[in-house]
């Protein structure tokens, strides 16, 4: 794993030079394409799909592994986040990743909390941002730094955090980064839950409760033809009586603006849900069509 910005730049230059002959055509030499996948480590099979898409679309695949301290409300939360560097390295090597950038916080954020930040604006204070006020500004700040350092042609994200994908797409457009943002469907277990490190931390009874979250989204989708209110009511009804779930938000948004839709909305929409189960936060979403 490359730990320094200087090392990253050197390795990228080497990788581009090595890939250039195979990326060139007989008529016009082409620069090799670079894909970036940014992670906070503790990798799982959900990340594998991101890497496979990047591998299919680019000549060089760069994966960052960086636990961003700006995202956490307290130092204790930052230090408690699971870190599995050996397992991460083995998974990435097995998937043919070309470069793994795993800097220490002081390398990527030399001024710490005083760093210049990218702001997500009002939308960054909604949904996830309401419960985690620092989250999206911190996320976009590091995403912008990584894009500046790697200069990727493609950046790949998972759709489990749809708000993140939307805000990154908007940042890339607003700041003229010239990066194509791709997203991959959420990888789910047999119980319907998105694959994540949190699932393995749950006791059986809590796990059974958590599986009602994707079912609530299924209920929302099944009732979408009756309008937004009926859609949300069906999802809420499916959660009733489950005391182990502490619902944070359940909302239907317009995918073009990510703002809540009104009752008269017709067409594509996204249902978002977030809840806490046994102290672990879960987020999920599904695309629906309101007829």
280 is catalytic: no
**Under a CB-based contact definition with an 8 Å cutoff, are residues 198 and 224 in contact?**
no
Residue 196 marked ligand-binding: yes
Residue 16 marked ligand-binding: no
Residue 158 marked ligand-binding: yes
Residue 206 marked ligand-binding: no
Residue 160 marked ligand-binding: yes
Residue 150 marked ligand-binding: no
Q: How far is CA 137 from the centre of its chain?
A: 14
Residue 61 marked ligand-binding: no
User: Which listed residue (44, 47, 265, 280) is catalytic?
Assistant: 47
Residue 238 marked ligand-binding: no
Residue 181 marked ligand-binding: no
Determine the Cα angle at 105 with ends 201 and 165, to 5°. Answer: 60
Catalytic residues: 47
Q: Annotated binding residues, as ranges?
A: 158-161, 187, 195-198
Q: Annotated binding residues for ATP, as ranges?
A: 158-161, 187, 195-198
């Amino acid at each position: 794993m490359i730990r320094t910005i200087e090392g990253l730049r050197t390795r990228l230059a080497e990788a581009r030079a090595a890939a250039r002959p195979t990326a060139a055509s007989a008529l016009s030499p082409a620069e090799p394409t670079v894909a970036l996948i940014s992670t906070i480590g503790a990798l799982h099979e959900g990340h594998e799909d991101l890497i496979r898409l990047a591998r299919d679309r680019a000549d060089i695949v760069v994966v960052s592994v960086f636990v961003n301290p700006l995202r956490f409300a307290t130092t204790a939360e930052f230090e408690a986040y699971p870190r599995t560097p050996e397992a991460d390295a083995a998974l990435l090597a097995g998937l043919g990743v070309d470069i793994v950038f795993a800097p220490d916080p002081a390398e990527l954020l030399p001024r710490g909390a005083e760093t210049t930040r990218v702001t997500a604006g009002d939308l960054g204070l909604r949904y996830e941002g309401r419960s985690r006020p620092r989250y999206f500004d911190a996320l976009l700040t590091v995403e912008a730094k990584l894009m500046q350092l790697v200069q990727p042609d493609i950046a790949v994200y998972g759709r489990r955090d749809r708000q993140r994908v939307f805000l990154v797409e908007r940042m890339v457009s607003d700041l003229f980064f010239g990066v194509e943002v791709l997203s991959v469907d959420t990888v789910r277990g047999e119980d319907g839950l998105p694959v994540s490190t949190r699932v393995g931390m749950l006791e059986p009874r809590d796990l059974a409760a958590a599986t009602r979250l994707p079912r609530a989204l299924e209920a929302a989708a099944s009732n979408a033809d009756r309008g937004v209110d009926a859609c949300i009511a069906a999802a809420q009804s499916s959660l009733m009586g489950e005391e182990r779930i502490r619902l944070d938000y359940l909302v239907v948004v317009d995918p073009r603006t990510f703002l809540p839709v009104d009752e008269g909305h017709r067409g594509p929409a996204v249902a978002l849900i977030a809840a806490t189960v046994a102290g672990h936060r879960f987020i999920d979403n599904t695309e629906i069509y309101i007829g």
